[in-house]
Amino acid sequence: MTESACPLETILSEVLANMAFMFGEPVAGEALPEPDWFECSIGYHGPQLGRLTLRCPQAFAVLLAANLLGLDPASPDLAGQIEDTVKELLNVICGQTVTALYGRVSAFDLEIPCMQRLAAPPPSLARSPDAVELCVEGHLVQLSHSRVSDADDAASSIPSNESCPG
C-alpha cells in the first residue's frame, strides 16, 4: 500500500481527535515560532521495517497531557506526565499506521518510544512526501515516516531507539 493510500495526515488527525479531543488543520503559511520542542520516535519491525517521528512544541505537549489526563494545563501534577503522553500518542499513531499500510495479517513489534528535547525548532517538512505538518490547537505538529523495504538494509537505514539519550 502506498503512503497516499494511508495518509499520515488522516491518521494523525483521527488519533488526536479520538484520543485527546484535539483537532488539527493543514498549516496555512508560516507557523508561529515556539522555543521549546520535543522529538519522539518509534520504530516497528516485522515483514517491513520503519520509523515514525513526531516533533511538537512543549506547549502542545502540555495541552496533550492535560486533555488525556483530564487535568488543567497549569496543574503541577501534569509536569511528570508530559513525556509519557507524547510517547503514548506516537505509540497509537504507529499502531494505526502499520495496520493501515500493511494490514492485520502480519505481526509487527513496536519499539518503546524514545523522546528528546530539540536544541532548536525543526525545519519545515512541508515538501516531504512522507511527512505531514498540522496546526493543532494553534501549535505546529510534525509527523514523518521512513521505511526500509529490504530487511538487509534495516540496520543502516532505520536507527533503533538504542541511540536515545538517557
Distance CA 105, CA 123 (A): 36
φ/ψ bin of 137: left (φ > 0), alpha (ψ from -120 to 50), beta (otherwise): left
β-partners of residue 116 are 39
Give the pLDDT of residue 126.
79
Closest of 16, 18, 10 to residue 90, by C-alpha? 16
Q: 86-110 burial string, b = 16+ CB within 10 Å, else e?
A: bbbbbbbbbbbbbebbbeeeeebeb
Number of domains in the chain: 1
CATH code assigned at 32: 3.40.1550.10
What are the pLDDT digits (tens) for 4-22?
Answer: 445 899 999 999 999 999 9
Q: Which of 150, 144, 111 is nearest to 9 (CA)?
A: 144
Mean pLDDT, range 113-142, rounded to an integer: 92
Here the cell at position 132 is 505531514
Q: Which domain holds residue 24?
A: 3-163
Q: State pLDDT tens for residues 68-106.
A: 999 999 999 998 999 999 999 999 999 999 999 999 999
